[in-house]
Amino acid sequence: MDEERPDTRLLQIFLSYQSDYPGPSIFEVSSDQNKNLLCSCPGFKVKKTCKHVALIESRISKNNGVYQFEFSERITNDELRRAMKDEKSFRELVIRFGKIEVY
């Protein structure tokens, strides 16, 4: 998100070319401790919902309440285990190895 929040877990990074600014925009969808989804895009900040959150919600619904991460094949089991220790490590793992959606 705009600022790192220790009480949230990064779920997905989106790259968007549909913005009022030149070049791509990067948006992050995270989940808080109550499983509420949050997005860093301008639409979410105004409406408290957006297409990024809707996409994540639909994936969670299709997977019986679980978000299925897609990671690069370069990730090792040791890196994955280390990332599970805290939110900051997990965030770094998602940024480094997670699939970035273009949306």
Per the structure block, which two tokens stand in for 76? Answer: 């090792």
Query: pLDDT tens digit string along 16-45?
Result: 876 666 678 899 999 999 999 999 999 999
- Using CA atoms, how far residue 55 sits from 14, 61, 69, 77, 80, in Å, is 11, 10, 13, 28, 25
Q: What is the pTM (predicted TM-score) of this model? A: 0.83
| Averaged pLDDT for residues 3-25 | 77
Residues 37/30, Cβ–Cβ less than 8 Å: yes
Domain boundaries, given as residue ranges, for the chain? 8-102
Of the pLDDT bands very low, low, confident and very high (cuts 50, 70, 90), residue 2 is very low
Query: pLDDT tens digit string along 42-92?
Result: 999 999 999 999 999 999 999 999 999 999 999 999 999 999 999 999 999
**Cβ neighbours of residue 6 closer than 8 Å, sequence gap 6 or more:** 87, 88
Burial degree of 83 (CB within 10 A; 0-12, 13-18, 19+):
buried
